[in-house]
Amino acid sequence: MTTIVVVRKAGEIAIAADSQTTFGDDQKLLAAYDPYHSKIFRLGDNYLAVSGSAAHDLVLQQALRGLKSRDLSSRAAIFETFRKLHPKLKETFFLRPEEEEDDPYESSQMMVVIANPHGIFGVYPMREVYEFSRYWAIGSGRKFAMGAIHALYDTPLSAGDLAAAGVRAGCEFDLASSLPMTLHTLASATEPQGSAA
């Protein structure tokens, strides 16, 4: 339960997240009580944030750092990295990959967004990888965040300002999201796939 957003605009890339941890339906841990409240972690020139069980945060950090080779620079490279990661999640970190009986593949049980100089990306539980040309959000506050960013995207606001507006909207209306937020911005090294030159 969270609000996490990634935004790309005018050569800038931003990733932002709220800071609340939620336990079940009736207990929350706010940033003031949690010295490790940031949901975004850095790995080289990549910023990643995960939605799902709070257990995924440290597991994903350790699993990615433990890979002999990893590449998060493109949709295909991210897919290959997460394909190699899945067996490690099961064998070393005891991931339970079961979801629905008729699912075509085992689940990695998490949604991840990635921001790096190459773009903004999302990885979904069956290792589906998407590249986003403008913005995206994950977590329980995603609909509020997406609405806020959609309404403001064509204004003069920067990617960082838009990401902050999205997280603030999520925190305003989603029970499982709270301020303060963490926000990182970086310069884009490339244009999104399919962009006009």
Quick one: tokens of 73? Answer: 């620079």
Q: Is the pLDDT of residue 78 over 50?
A: yes
Does the pTM surpass 0.85? The reply is yes
Torsion of CA 87, 90, 93, 96, to 10 degrees: 150
Per-residue model confidence (pLDDT) at position 44: 94
What pLDDT is recorded for position 107? 64
For residue 195, name the pLDDT band (cuts at 50, 70, 90). low
Grade residue 86 by pLDDT with cuts at 50, 70 and 90: confident
pLDDT at residue 8 greater than cutoff 50:
yes
Report yes or no: 10 and 163 within 8 Å, Cβ to Cβ: no
For the CA atoms of the chain, what is the radius of gyration? 16
Rounded to the nearest 5 degrees, what angle is found at the Cα of 109, between the Cα atoms of 26 and 194?
A: 115
Torsion sign over Cα 142, 147, 152, 154: positive
Coil, helix or strand at residue 33? helix
The CA distance from 8 to 148, in Å, is: 15
- What does residue 174 show for φ and ψ, rounded to 5 degrees? -95, 130
pLDDT digits (tens, 9 = 90+) for 97-113: 777 777 766 667 688 99
List of residues 6+ apart from 137 with CB closer than 8 A: 3, 4, 5, 6, 143, 145, 146, 149, 166, 170
pLDDT top residue among 127 and 176: 176
Mean pLDDT, to the nearest integer, of 28-32? Answer: 92
What single DSSP character describes residue 192?
A: P
Assign 3-state DSSP to the chain and report helix, strand, coil percentages, each to 5: 30, 25, 45
In order of their start, the domains of the chain are 8-187 (3.60.20.10)
| Predicted local confidence at residue 67, as pLDDT | 87
Q: How far apart, in whole angstroms, are the C-alpha atoms of residue 42 and residue 34?
A: 19
The two structure tokens encoding residue 155: 């204004």
